[in-house]
């Protein structure tokens, strides 16, 4: 039992759903962060792990950029380098890494493809994944042309949700190029402990590739301390930016040993001394190709400022308390939850098995509650973000109670 889990139980007692009158105690963040987000006025928006809502400040920055684009496009174009550097600098602070290890790309999926492409995966080598490795970092290993690389899928050990370190250990050997995991899995809400996985990979000369799309911005991340070689993520979730933009982090050590699988005029140039040769930037910018989303960049910079201002530790405490309240309330309703109860094994996502996710989602939406309904996974998912409060969670629980009262418990979960 970790210290995290001890605190978990204490907070559960204080903030448990049974004591709903304590709502203000859940609000670790000043109210101004909630009022930054217009959606909170009318709706319990619990889909921040899909698409974070636009804040006033992000909308304002984007609107200002649109104005500049209309009246002074050259000025808008001139802002590219400054804005991209500003995003890189803020991400570096948030993720515990140097800005020189960060490339800004068009999303986590692109970053994963670049990460897989830059690894020297020869026929006969292998990559180790588990059931929670997201498609964006699994599929790139499976394209024709990489047929010779064996994809080893680790069993779901002790949790039944994801591989434990022992399950990974059984598969990693000296032919392993990478252990490829998703820090927090969008379907289960399960969170891996990254450091032991990094140690395991490194002990065999392999790298760890970690998708941090569902953790960056909501739980403290220190890529350098955790020994992460390659990490990728997306702006539009817990980093409060717009869609269509993301990042790849490649450690300095790896940058010194690798090339770039995709190149463009931003990250490479012809060697002036020998124009038949290509020179790559020495830092992670070598992975940046052409003109990125000029519209998205200042928007994301502003979103990152909000996250930094609130502070990830405070966001984490806030989200933890909301998730705790949600789990207690779901317990009271007799609903089974997939997301682990241990604090150290989850972040901001609560995944609930549901037989008719879209129907349930529509029912809740009518009552002002927005969440993810995923028929293929037979689940609904409620995400607690920095802009949510205890009332949002209670609206969800009340909505679920109304659904059960109207249609019976079995309409959500068969017993």
Ligand X SMILES: Cc1ncc(COP(=O)(O)O)c(C=O)c1O
Residues that bind ligand X (CB under 6 A): 107-109, 134, 136, 182, 186, 211, 213-214, 234, 246
Nearer to ligand X, 141 or 403 (CB): 141
Burial bucket for residue 139 (CB in 10 Å: 0-12, 13-18, 19+): middle
What is the smallest separation between the CB atom of 184 and ligand X, expressed in angstroms?
7
Reduce the DSSP state of residue 95 to 3 states and report it.
helix
Taking the least distance from each CB to ligand X, the nearer of 200 and 349 is 349
Buried/exposed code over 178-214 (b: 16+ C-beta within 10 A; e: otherwise)? bbbbbbbbbbbbbbbebeebbebbeeeebbbbbbbbb
Nearer to ligand X, 212 or 397 (CB): 212
Chain position carrying tokens 């496009």: 73
191 or 301, CB closer to ligand X? 191
Measured between alpha carbons, how far is 220 from 340 in angstroms, rounded to an integer?
19
By DSSP bridging, strand 369-370 and strand 349-353 are unpaired
Which CA distances in Å does 228 have to 89, 144, 394? 18, 27, 38
364 phi and psi, to 5 degrees?
Answer: -70, -35
Distance CA 217, CA 145 (A): 35
Q: Rank residues 191 and 325 by Cβ distance to ligand X and give the closer one.
A: 191
Q: Closest residue to ligand X, Cβ-based?
A: 107
The smaller minimum CB distance to ligand X, of residues 8 and 214, is found at: 214
- Smallest gap from residue 111 Cβ to ligand X (A): 8
What's the min distance (Å) between Cβ of 181 and ligand X?
A: 10
Least CB distance to ligand X at residue 80 (A): 20
Rounded least distance, CB 243 to ligand X, Å: 7
Minimum separation from the CB atom of position 49 to ligand X (A): 7
> Residues 231-258, buried b or exposed e (16+ Cβ, 10 A)?
bbbbbbbbbbbbbebbbbbbbeebbeeb
């Amino acid at each position: 039992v970790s210290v995290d889990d001890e605190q978990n139980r204490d907070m559960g007692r204080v903030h448990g759903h049974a004591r709903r009158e304590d709502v203000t105690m859940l609000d670790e963040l000043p109210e101004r962060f909630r009022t930054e987000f217009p959606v909170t006025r009318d709706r319990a928006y619990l889909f921040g792990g899909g698409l974070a809502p636009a804040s006033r400040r992000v909308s304002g920055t984007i609107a200002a950029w649109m104005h500049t684009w209309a009246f002074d496009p050259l000025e808008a174009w001139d802002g590219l380098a400054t804005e991209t550097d500003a995003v890189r600098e803020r991400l570096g602070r948030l993720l515990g890494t140097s800005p020189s290890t960060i490339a800004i790309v068009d999303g986590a999926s692109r970053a994963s493809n670049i990460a897989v492409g830059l690894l020297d995966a020869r026929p006969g080598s292998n990559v180790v994944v588990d059931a929670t490795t997201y498609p964006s970092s699994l599929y790139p290993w499976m394209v024709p042309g990489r047929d010779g690389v064996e994809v080893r899928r680790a069993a779901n050990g002790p949790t039944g949700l994801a591989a434990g370190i022992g399950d990974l250990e059984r598969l990693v050997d000296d032919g392993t190029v990478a252990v490829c995991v998703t820090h927090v899995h969008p379907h289960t809400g399960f969170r891996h402990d990254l450091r032991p996985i990094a140690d395991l990979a490194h002990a065999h000369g392999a790298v760890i590739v970690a998708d941090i799309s569902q953790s960056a911005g909501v739980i403290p991340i220190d890529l350098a301390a955790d020994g992460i070689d390659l990490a990728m993520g997306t702006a539009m979730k817990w980093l409060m930016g717009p869609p269509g933009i993301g990042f790849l982090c490649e450690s300095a050590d790896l940058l010194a040993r690798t090339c770039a699988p995709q190149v463009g005029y931003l990250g490479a140039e012809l060697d002036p001394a020998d124009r038949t040769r290509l020179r790559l930037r020495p830092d992670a910018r070598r992975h940046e190709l052409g003109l990125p989303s000029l519209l998205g960049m200042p928007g994301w910079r502003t979103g990152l400022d909000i996250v930094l201002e609130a502070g990830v530790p405070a966001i984490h405490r806030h989200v933890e308390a909301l998730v705790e309240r949600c789990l207690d309330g779901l317990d009271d309703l007799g609903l089974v939850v997939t997301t682990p109860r241990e604090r150290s094994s989850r972040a901001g996502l609560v995944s609930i098995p549901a037989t008719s996710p879209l129907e349930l989602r529509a029912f809740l939406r009518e009552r002002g509650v927005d969440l993810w309904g995923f028929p293929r996974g037979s689940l609904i998912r409620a995400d607690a973000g920095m802009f949510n409060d205890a009332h949002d969670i209670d609206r969800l629980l009340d909505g679920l109670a109304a659904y059960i009262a109207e249609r019976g418990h079995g309409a959500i979960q068969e017993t």
